[in-house]
Structure 1
Amino acid sequence: MKHVILGNGPAGVIAAEIIRKRAPGDQIVMIGSEDVPPYSRMAIPYLLMGIIEESGTYLRKDPEHFQKLKIEQIHGKARSVDPKAKKLDLEDGQSISFDKLLIATGSIPVQPPIPGIDLPGVHSCWTMEDARAIRKLAKPGSRVLQMGAGFIGCIILEALASRGVDLTVVEMGDRMVPRMMTTVAGGMIKKWVEAKGVQVHTNTKVEAITTTNSGLMVMLSNGKSLEVDLVISATGVRPNVAYLKSSGIEIQTGILVNEMMQTSHQDIYAAGDVAEGIDFSTGERIVNAIQPNAAEQARIAAIAMTGGDCESLGALQINVLDTLGLISSSFGLWSGAKGGDHVELVDLQQYKYLRLEFLGDVLIGATCVGTTDHIGVLRGLIQGKIALGGWKETLMGDPTKVMDAYLDAGQAQSSWFN
């Protein structure tokens, strides 16, 4: 049996290792698009901070790790996939056959349609090549403008701030991290970041970028123009699926997969940021582009590809973020559901925030800022879909009593099922 894994990020690596463990004699080929060892994109900010070197981003530290596991590595970018012929073609002309294929090509940055977005000095922060360029340009005192204050943008923001640059952030939403935080929580993060010396423009777009004698001029929709040395585009990502257009594989936003990570072709699977699975909370389709989800999907796909029986329960939305020392998190349906209830505690002065979302007597979502207390409990209540009974009213009066509710209602439900 020949297993080909297209993509060598966390999902690809985990799948390759599990396949090898379950099928010691099978052939495994793993294809990476960058000419560097498999690495974690989430480690790039730590590289920019100077905490680690490039080797610190590598997913496996032993340079002979994959060789020892007899996992063949190939460098190349996919040009097309032919499910009927069971082969894929790379841009360099190579053609690779497969019995089972896992597509784990992740995401690619979204480039906004802005005049000047392709100028030198404008970079995404996604690849190792991007990181190398940014390290050269983002020096202490450099004027840097970052477009985007979403989850990835806030991680990059922290790395840039640590390099001592003069940083301005532009976000088109009405708050920071708008796809992860409520209005109050996102506004609280903005206030925190500004107190740390970062300028933040919300409800603002970059309209154009031009060159000057000494750098770049950035025109904003609020009427301001800023001269900078470097522009970072962190306006989001999308599944890397363009090369699959003629494959016949069913795609919406990402590659549609079932509970076993199987695509519309029975011998082709997908995992990670490229896969569109089922949302745990809603039962609807979702691309849940977070590393824990990628790892779980890779595990399920690898088991299925080697004849095992394993199914996903659905992807739970989980976001945990450290923004210049302020921890924030959101789980499940953090923005609430139609017909639901909510309660929130707000302490703007202490940067403390807690909001719980209910549907009936079940906790379906939560948002926290400035605390990590009971994060595991909140996740457990949501993922367990635990009926809280009278505890719901208690929590509506005092949402900090989630641990008591979990111990009582959770144990009662466990005993009932046993």
Structure 2
Amino acid sequence: MTHHVILGAGPAGVIAAETIRKHAPADRITLVGDEPEPPYSRMAIPYLLIGQIDEAGTHLRKAPDHYERLGIERVFARAKSVDAQARTVTLDDGRALLFDRLLIATGSRPVRPPIRGIDLPGVHHCWTLADARAIMARAQPGARVLQLGAGFIGCIIMEALQQRGVTLTIVEMGDRMVPRMMGPAAGGMIRQWCEAKGVAVHTSTRLEAIERAGPLRVRLSNGQHIDADLVIIAAGVKPAIEFLQDSGIRCLQGVLTDEHMQTNVSGIYAAGDCAEAFDKVSGTTIVSAIQPNAAEQARVAALNMVGQHAELRGVTQINVLDTLGLISASFGNWQGVPGGERVERVDAQHHKVLSLCFDGDVMVGCNSVGWTQHIGALRGLVEGRVRLGEWKDTLMHDPTQFMAAYLAAAQAQAHWSAAADARRR
């Protein structure tokens, strides 16, 4: 009987376990998670904070006996090390699990910056259900909340906090909000929007120290001191792969995988936020920590683990964000490529920004703020690597014509592709 060990009980781990069970009814499956909760979605935590769901609403599967019915053994522990040659995983409780196939789906961990006072009561990450409980206890209406970090996750947390009626201050080290997703004009527009909604925003600013508790007193690099009832650290995440050191499993930013989600060690796979997979748009390997990627990577890995042939078609670089009602999106290489061209249109009156990046006549990335219609066309142009031809010049003159360009150029590309297929036959 083949034994599949899955490290990580988030969406990737659960989807992989279910996929293995569907295609290998007799195989043994062990799902290892390091939290005492039933497997849940971190992306549901903001909805818990604003009261739209209860804790059970965060659970990935609602039936309490779901895993038992599928014969999936759950283990509450954290992986301490992996011996790829001996095919064993050592857990932090001293147990060792022998495996035939291993899936590493340990996800990410929040970055913990070296700030004096970060261990004081009232300072929390917003990453686990335990964090959410602590935040809800302090983030009552009128409470003073300071959040370090205005990245993608930070902005989602900010949205939930504002709906709880707190007085909110955001501190971001970058020179704009969402700096890893948005260029200067787009990130600046999001900041203006947040400030108009009553959020105090400090960019190009570090949190230097938390100097006392009850209330917390925070010292910023711009010289200001801010009193807070709650400090939230949302300074980014990184793949949770420290336990793989000296394992022989190759890691760069994340666990390096091939198109089958297999690592450099036969029978050992990775999926989700800890995996580094090939992205066809950028032409390199990336860690893309979004749930649709995690789900597809888990499916591909699981099928290969049971002996079926499956390939990852590519990693999707997509971020769509709702920041206090302002919609923004980022696709592909939004920073542009060497030697490429860029066009940007800013409509400050209507809180809109549109930035398109090209490599020759192919759009390789884009930013948009305030655009809600036809955003799928931008994604289609980027992911489809559509050759725009003369439409490239049209977009350089007026980037808002992207929908017309998509309809014309994508249809033309599909026609020529079909004609080429016919000729080959």
TM range (shorter): over 0.9
Match of 1:300 in 2: 300
Matches within 5 A, 1:395-406: 395-406=395-406
Matched, 1:138 2:146: no
Match of 1:264 in 2: 264
**Residue 373 (structure 1) shift:** 1.5
Contact 1:210 1:216 in 2 (8 A): yes
**Residue 358 (structure 1) shift:** 0.9
Match of 1:388 in 2: 388
Matches within 5 A, 1:213-232: 214-232=214-232
Question: Which residue identity is paired with 1:286?
Answer: I
Task: Please give the alpha-carbon distance, in whole angstroms, between the structure 1 residues aligned to 2:317 and 2:310.
Answer: 20
Matches within 5 A, 1:44-55: 44-55=45-56
**Residue 81 (structure 1) shift:** 1.1
Contact 2:282 2:332 in 1 (8 A): no
TM-score by length of 1: 0.98
**Residue 251 (structure 1) shift:** 1.4
Match of 2:80 in 1: 79
Provide the secondary structure at the position in 2 that maps to 1:292: helix
Contact 2:281 2:385 in 1 (8 A): no
Offset from partner CA, 1:196-215 (integer Å, 9 cap, x none): 11100001001111214x31
Task: Please give the alpha-carbon distance, in whole angstroms, between the structure 2 residues aligned to 1:16 and 1:244.
Answer: 21
Match of 1:88 in 2: 89
Provide the secondary structure at the position in 2 that maps to 1:289: coil
Offset from partner CA, 1:122-167 (integer Å, 9 cap, x none): 1000011111111111111111110000000000111111111111
Task: Please give the alpha-carbon distance, in whole angstroms, between the structure 2 residues aligned to 1:414 and 1:310.
Answer: 25
Task: Please give the alpha-carbon distance, in whole angstroms, between the structure 1 residues aligned to 2:372 and 2:301.
Answer: 32
Match of 1:370 in 2: 370
Task: Please give the alpha-carbon distance, in whole angstroms, between the structure 1 residues aligned to 2:341 and 2:313.
Answer: 25
Task: Please give the alpha-carbon distance, in whole angstroms, between the structure 1 residues aligned to 2:38 and 2:23.
Answer: 24
Provide the secondary structure at the position in 2 that maps to 1:146: strand
Task: Please give the alpha-carbon distance, in whole angstroms, between the structure 2 residues aligned to 1:252 and 1:365.
Answer: 24
Matches within 5 A, 1:132-171: 132-171=133-172
> After the TM superposition, which of the residue ranges 306-315 and 129-138 deviates more from structure 2?
306-315
Task: Please give the alpha-carbon distance, in whole angstroms, between the structure 1 residues aligned to 2:295 and 2:378.
Answer: 21
Task: Please give the alpha-carbon distance, in whole angstroms, between the structure 2 residues aligned to 1:196 and 1:72.
Answer: 48
Task: Please give the alpha-carbon distance, in whole angstroms, between the structure 2 residues aligned to 1:283 and 1:386.
Answer: 16
**Residue 376 (structure 1) shift:** 1.1
Contact 1:217 1:226 in 2 (8 A): yes
Task: Please give the alpha-carbon distance, in whole angstroms, between the structure 2 residues aligned to 1:75 and 1:384.
Answer: 42
Provide the secondary structure at the position in 1 that maps to 2:349: coil
| Overall identity of the aligned pairs, in % | 61
Question: Which residue identity is paired with 1:110?
Answer: V
**Residue 403 (structure 1) shift:** 2.1
Offset from partner CA, 1:221-251 (integer Å, 9 cap, x none): 0000011111100001111011111312111
Question: Which residue identity is paired with 2:5?
Answer: V
Question: Which residue identity is paired with 2:176?
Answer: R
> After the TM superposition, which of the residue ranges 54-63 and 398-407 deviates more from structure 2?
398-407
Match of 1:336 in 2: 336
Match of 2:346 in 1: 346
Offset from partner CA, 1:90-131 (integer Å, 9 cap, x none): 111221111100000000011111111111111000011111
Match of 2:36 in 1: 35
**Residue 313 (structure 1) shift:** 3.0
Match of 1:247 in 2: 247
Contact 1:283 1:314 in 2 (8 A): no
Task: Please give the alpha-carbon distance, in whole angstroms, between the structure 1 residues aligned to 2:15 and 2:366.
Answer: 30
Task: Please give the alpha-carbon distance, in whole angstroms, between the structure 1 residues aligned to 2:306 and 2:44.
Answer: 30
Task: Please give the alpha-carbon distance, in whole angstroms, between the structure 2 residues aligned to 1:412 and 1:265.
Answer: 43
Contact 1:261 1:301 in 2 (8 A): yes
Task: Please give the alpha-carbon distance, in whole angstroms, between the structure 2 residues aligned to 1:66 and 1:345.
Answer: 51
> After the TM superposition, which of the residue ranges 75-84 and 181-190 deviates more from structure 2?
75-84
Match of 1:195 in 2: 196
Contact 1:145 1:231 in 2 (8 A): yes
Match of 1:411 in 2: 411
TM-score by length of 2: 0.96
Matched, 1:278 2:278: yes
Q: Unaligned regions of 5+ residues in structure 2, if any?
A: 419-425
Equivalenced residue count is 417
Match of 1:70 in 2: 71
**Residue 276 (structure 1) shift:** 1.3
Task: Please give the alpha-carbon distance, in whole angstroms, between the structure 2 residues aligned to 1:372 and 1:102.
Answer: 38
Contact 1:19 1:306 in 2 (8 A): yes
Task: Please give the alpha-carbon distance, in whole angstroms, between the structure 1 residues aligned to 2:71 and 2:368.
Answer: 44
**Residue 397 (structure 1) shift:** 2.0
CA RMSD of aligned residues (A): 1.1
